[in-house]
Amino acid sequence: MCAHGNVFRCVCCSLRKDIVKAFAEIEKRSKGREKPIDAIIMETTGLADPAPVAFTFFANPWVANRFKLDSIM
């Protein structure tokens, strides 16, 4: 859990929201490009468990319809 001021929030949940925002920005910037973006590499050093990040690809319908999780290393 992360405590910021008097607000307690789950770091994993806030991270997943940040990922969705980042993917939306990538999609927005890629529109109209001559060559579309075909891969996004996410570096998650420092996360003890990458499962919450991976879960975003399956639990969020917007992400699931636009992006595919290829592998976790």
* pLDDT, tens digit only, all 73 positions of the chain: 434 444 444 555 566 788 888 889 888 888 878 887 888 888 777 777 888 888 888 889 999 999 999 988 8
Look at residue 17 and tell me if it is in a domain: yes
Look at residue 71 and tell me if it is in a domain: no
Q: What is the DSSP letter of 48?
A: S
Cβ neighbours of 63 (radius 10 Å): 18
Look at residue 60 and tell me if it is in a domain: yes
Look at residue 72 and tell me if it is in a domain: no
Rounded to whole angstroms, the Cα distance separating 26 from 33 reads 11
Cβ neighbours of 23 (radius 10 Å): 19
- What does the CA dihedral 37, 67, 72, 29 come to, rounded to 10 degrees? 40
Is residue 62 within 8 Å of residue 69, measured between CB atoms? no
Residue 22: which domain range?
A: 2-66
Number of domains, the chain: 1
